[in-house]
């Protein structure tokens, strides 16, 4: 069986990653034809999420090529604010954006992108504006008070907005469009029972 690697979405995983932040996005990507593969710091080394979930990544970060991916998703993690251990993931995000492949970052990953200079000149959001300001980045004028923001190939969101984050990811990759995307969001964000029928019509 031949797999179209350009439909594959890559989810970055590392110790202390916030496992609740990307579940809506990855589950519905997989259900709509976008296989999800995990990418860790090194091959064969298990990482542990904040919630204790243990994952053995499918491939190492060094082996990830933007040409083989539809999107890179970066989760939040305590390690984003504890030193430079996750800086290589931000550098990989730079490769993706330079290649025209989308990047989606939530929570602490937005600070990693800020330190890498990837939010300078782009509209973006995060937990709060002063969280990113503390990184010393120069993109403060582009900060938007919103649940999630898409600017070209970059999606950002704060830590309390996994559903809004997923909406932007699903929309960017065409998993749902128009009224279907709106129904999906209303179902999972607003618990609107009518949206279930619209989504499954």
What pLDDT, on a 0 to 100 scale, did the predictor assign at position 200?
85
> What's the structural domain count of the chain?
1
Q: Give every CB contact of residue 7 below 8 A, 6+ residues apart in sequence.
A: 33, 34, 35, 70
In angstroms, the CA 76 to CA 82 distance is 12
Crossing angle (nearest 10°) for helices 23-31 and 162-172: 30
Q: What is the pLDDT of residues 146-157, one digit of tens each?
A: 999 999 999 999
pTM of the predicted model as reported, rounded to 2 decimal places? 0.95
Report the 10 Å Cβ neighbour count for 88.
14
As separate numbers, helices (DSSP H) first and strands (DSSP E) second, the chain gives 7, 9
In angstroms, the CA 110 to CA 166 distance is 15
**What percentage of the chain exceeds 90 in pLDDT?**
92
Tell whether 198 is covered by a domain: no
Q: What length is written for the chain?
A: 201
In angstroms, the CA 134 to CA 169 distance is 27
Q: What is the pLDDT of residues 116-130, one digit of tens each?
A: 999 999 999 999 999
55: domain range? 5-176
> What one-character DSSP code corresponds to residue 17?
B
Tell whether 193 is covered by a domain: no
In angstroms, the CA 103 to CA 25 distance is 13
Nearest to 172 by CA among 81, 71, 76, 88: 71
Residues β-bridged to residue 37: 10
Between CA 25 and CA 120, with CA 17 as vertex, the angle to 5 degrees is 75
Give residue for tokens 């984050």: 165
Tell whether 192 is covered by a domain: no
Question: Which parts of the chain are beta strand (E)?
Answer: 9-12, 36-40, 47-48, 54-55, 59-60, 71-74, 103-106, 148-151, 154-157
Tell whether 172 is covered by a domain: yes
Average pLDDT over residues 61-90: 96
**Whether the predicted pLDDT of 3 surpasses 80:** no
Which CATH number do you get for residue 63? 3.40.50.880
Tell whether 190 is covered by a domain: no
Tell whether 24 is covered by a domain: yes
Catalytic residue among 29, 61, 64, 107: 107
What pLDDT, on a 0 to 100 scale, did the predictor assign at position 44?
81
Q: Is 107 a catalytic residue?
A: yes
Tell whether 184 is covered by a domain: no
Tell whether 182 is covered by a domain: no
């Amino acid at each position: 069986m031949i797999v179209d690697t350009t439909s594959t979405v890559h989810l970055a995983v590392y110790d202390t990653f916030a496992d609740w932040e990307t579940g809506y996005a990855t589950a519905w990507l997989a259900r709509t034809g976008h296989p999800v593969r995990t990418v860790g710091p090194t091959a064969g080394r298990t990482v542990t999420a904040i919630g204790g979930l243990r994952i053995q990544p499918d491939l190492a970060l060094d082996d990830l090529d933007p040409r083989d991916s539809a999107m890179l998703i970066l989760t939040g993690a305590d390690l984003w604010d504890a030193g430079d251990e996750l800086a290589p993931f931000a550098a990989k995000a730079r490769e993706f954006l330079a290649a025209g492949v989308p990047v989606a970052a939530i929570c602490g990953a937005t600070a990693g992108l800020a330190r890498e200079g990837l939010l300078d000149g782009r509209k973006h959001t995060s937990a709060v504006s002063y969280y990113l300001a503390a990184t010393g980045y120069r993109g403060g004028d582009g900060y938007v008070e919103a649940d999630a923001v898409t600017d070209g190939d970059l999606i950002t969101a704060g830590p309390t907005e996994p559903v809004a984050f997923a909406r932007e990811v699903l929309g960017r990759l065409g998993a749902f469009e128009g009224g279907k995307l709106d129904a999906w969001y209303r179902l999972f964000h607003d618990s609107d029972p009518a949206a279930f029928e619209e989504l499954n019509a």
